[in-house]
Amino acid sequence: MKRHRILLVVRHPVGGIRTFFRYFYRNFSRELYHFTLVAPDLPEARILLEDLSGLGLTYIPVDPRTSGAGLFRVVTQIIRTTRYDLVHSHGFASGACAVVGALSRRTPHILTSHDVFTEGQLVGLGGMLAKAALVSVLAAVDVTHCVSHDARANLLASLPLRWLFERKLTVIPNGIEVERFLGADRRDLRAELGLPAESFLIGFLGRFMSQKGFRYLADAIATMATKADLPRLPVVLAFGEGGFIREEIAALRERGLAGAVRFLPFVADVAPTLRGLDVLVMPSLWEACPLLPMEAMVAGVPVIGTNCVGLREVLSATPSVVVPPRDGGALAAALLEEMEHPTADRARAFAPEAVRRFRVEDKAVELENLMLRFLDR
């Protein structure tokens, strides 16, 4: 049987894109597909290679200092000189880098969108030009894969001339490897960190970017610190790195909250860590289709998140508690309620439904069927 040659183009191999690769592409057969990855030569790309080692993937590294225009030239040259059956780009920047090469060789091109646009992001003359460029890319690719219905609606609401690309939008929600979270060991974080037995462990996992809303979790902790009759001692365990972590630490010190937050290293296998928490908090301002709450729900861990775009879709019709974004008071109230009336039993009871809802194997079949629409021509 023919091996389909697929070119993967990634401009920013970080965060959700990296996890998407690990969860989705490992469900593809190396006997049926040969993947070639074009990505900056960064540690994140090396992690991708390790995650996909079973696929026998070919890696074409690009100097991380290469500009967008430089990557465009590199990708165009690769497509024009090597025959591929399909180009799959991840993110709008990657799609823009691959669109001309794919058109020139009449190679089918799928673009997966991993983000959403925020209010005020595409404004002014620069915003108008960016919108025009994005519409041109979306009109030129064969299909744009959105990772949630919220992300699709956001795309349509953010860009003009939607009639040029609306029919090319399809939704395949994200999914996770549920087995990793069902039978995971429980990390004894209290013993490991020397915390009192009555500590109430609040987990925050991810990069310290404004999008993730850590400052509003800090506001909630400040509100809780004013309560004299707390039944348990709230402790935030923040696992992550990068972004504005130094600024967040400095802000906590200025507010006298440094003792209420422990900053811990990023963990590659989050399952034992999630199971060691009392609650996972996601005070996000926007998401496309986050994987972390899926992982927590499959692990049977209570989740408190905001009703921001993307996250609200994942938390809908689950035992998770939903609060408004940018509202430290509402978040504090939700944390106090969880502390006084834990929902761990409900979270564990929901885990089988979370498995059915979020298992990646089903989503990977949908993605493969989408690809086969073009590969079988």
CATH number of the domain to which 30 belongs: 3.40.50.2000
What is the model's pLDDT at position 267? 80
What is the model's pLDDT at position 134? 96
What is the model's pLDDT at position 65? 94
54 lies in the same domain as 195: no
Task: Please tell me the distance from the alpha carbon of residue 224 to that of residue 349, in angstroms, as a whole number.
Answer: 29
Around Cβ 221, how many Cβ atoms within 10 Å?
22
68 lies in the same domain as 110: yes
149 lies in the same domain as 58: yes
Q: Is the pTM of this model over 0.85?
A: yes
Q: Which amino acid is at 226?
A: T
**Distant-in-sequence, close-in-space partners of 340: CB < 8 Å, separation ≥ 6:** 231
317 lies in the same domain as 307: yes
**Distant-in-sequence, close-in-space partners of 154: CB < 8 Å, separation ≥ 6:** 116, 117, 309
190 lies in the same domain as 334: yes
165 lies in the same domain as 227: no
Residue carrying the six token digits 């908090």: 281
Helix or strand run (H / E) with residue 48: helix 43-51
144 lies in the same domain as 75: yes
214 lies in the same domain as 228: yes
pLDDT tens for residues 315-371?
Answer: 999 999 999 999 999 999 999 999 999 999 999 999 999 999 999 999 999 999 999
CA dihedral (84, 90, 91, 92) in degrees, to 10, reads 10
77 lies in the same domain as 197: no
State which residues of the chain have pLDDT below 70.
Answer: 1-2, 243
234 lies in the same domain as 269: yes
As beta bridge partners, residue 281 has 304
Structural domain of 343: 179-358
**Distant-in-sequence, close-in-space partners of 198: CB < 8 Å, separation ≥ 6:** 232, 233
Question: If 0-12 CB within 10 Å is exposed, 13-18 middle and 19+ buried, where does residue 21 land?
Answer: buried
9 lies in the same domain as 144: yes
What is the model's pLDDT at position 373? 94
> In total, how many domains does the chain have?
2
299 lies in the same domain as 187: yes
